[in-house]
Amino acid sequence: MSAPVLALDIGGTKLAAGIVSPAGDLLASRVDDTHPAWSPAEVIEQLFELSEAALAEAAQEWRDLPAVGLSFGGPVDFPARRTLTCHHLHGWEGLPLAELVEERAGLPVVMDNDANAAALGETVFGAARGFDHVLYLTVSTGIGAGLLLNGHLHRGANSLAGELGHTLVVPDGPACTCGRNGCLEAVASGPAIARQAKAALDQGEASLLQSLPRDQLTAKQVAENAHADPLSARIMARAGEYLGVAIAAAVNLVNPDIVVIGGGLSQAGESLLQPLRDSVARRAVPESVRDLRIVAGALGADSALLGAAALALRRGPGREGTT
């Protein structure tokens, strides 16, 4: 496929549309905040407004595009081309999203969840290029995973492979968005890190974070202060420890070549990655970690969007976009 494709991303905090070349170049893009109160119809409408703007910037027409790739921030039924649910938005249960976008765009649409899309994006265009067995973990508003085995996405029997964020890591721990307690997402996601920092400050712990507005404190600020602030460093190290517990179990199970950490918290760098690597090394089978690489993703905030493009670019018999 030589023509660029339209990539769409529906996330818990942002919507994005981009025109992407077969080489993975983002020719034009538009981004907007996700409004939790919006209905799916309103989200779709906004996506098309963003798409029109991106197309105009890239000097492309709808008729020039061979396909659309769509990344969704929640579990999807890949063969049925439906969303299953979304823990951060409402009204997406059982929605035939790919079909709705296809009818509106007049183009074939390939849809997958955001973690699968980002895993494919990092494998085709990013940090996992050249590797066949890839475990990708996105750590942001939520925590999800994508898995490539022998170069192909592994989706599982019901398209639900990769829900690593809902692995139990702290028995009887904090409540999770899924309704259970002690999930990885409940203790190591962005919101969880911010809650831990606020709780420590409320208990009077000394920290550089004290100068920041308490009600606006974010995991990004915790990560940015980890190099100089003992409290921030401890919280990030604890998150890395918990992530390592879940990743080590996955490494023992599937024996990947590389683990790629994406999502907003991947920008925390070694304050998160080194405790994570140490945690994996203590828990995984030594032979599985001897040559294992654990790295930050290369695509940053565009990983799911570029992954959606990769889904569209790989359309065809025997490829990732087939249903």
User: Which domains are assigned to the chain?
Assistant: 5-120+302-313 (3.30.420.40), 129-298 (3.30.420.40)
Largest CA distance in the chain: 60
pLDDT at 90: 81
Q: Which amino acid, residue 34?
A: T
Say which range, 28-32, 53-57, 210-214, 313-317, has the weakest mean pLDDT.
313-317
Using the predicted structure, report yes or no on whether residue 136 has a pLDDT greater than 90.
yes
Measure CA 71 to chain center. Answer: 9
Report pLDDT digits (tens) over 291-308. 999 999 999 999 999 999
Give the Cα separation of 233 and 237 in Å (integer): 6
The pLDDT value given to residue 37: 87
How does residue 1 score in pLDDT terms, banded at 50, 70 and 90? low
Under the banding of pLDDT at 50, 70 and 90, the label for residue 319 is very low
Q: Whole-angstrom Cα distance, residue 186 to residue 297?
A: 22
Q: What is the pLDDT of residues 175-217, one digit of tens each?
A: 998 899 999 999 999 999 999 999 999 999 999 999 999 888 9
Quick: pLDDT tens for 218-276.
999 999 999 999 999 999 999 999 999 999 999 999 999 999 999 989 989 999 999 99
Beta bridge partners of 259: 135, 294
Entry pTM: 0.92
Q: List the beta bridge partners of residue 9.
A: 16, 71
Neighbours of 110 (CB within 10 A): 28
Give the pLDDT mean for 33-48: 92
How many whole angstroms separate alpha carbon 34 and alpha carbon 86? Answer: 13
What digits encode the pLDDT tens for the residues 3-14?
Answer: 999 999 998 788
- What pLDDT shows up at residue 321? 52
pLDDT in tens, 86-102: 877 788 999 999 999 99
* Residue 276 token pair: 């994570």
Residue 105: what are its φ and ψ, rounded to 5°? -85, -25
Checking if the pLDDT of 41 tops 60, the result is yes
322 pLDDT higher than 80: no
Instruction: Supply the mean pLDDT for the chain.
Output: 93
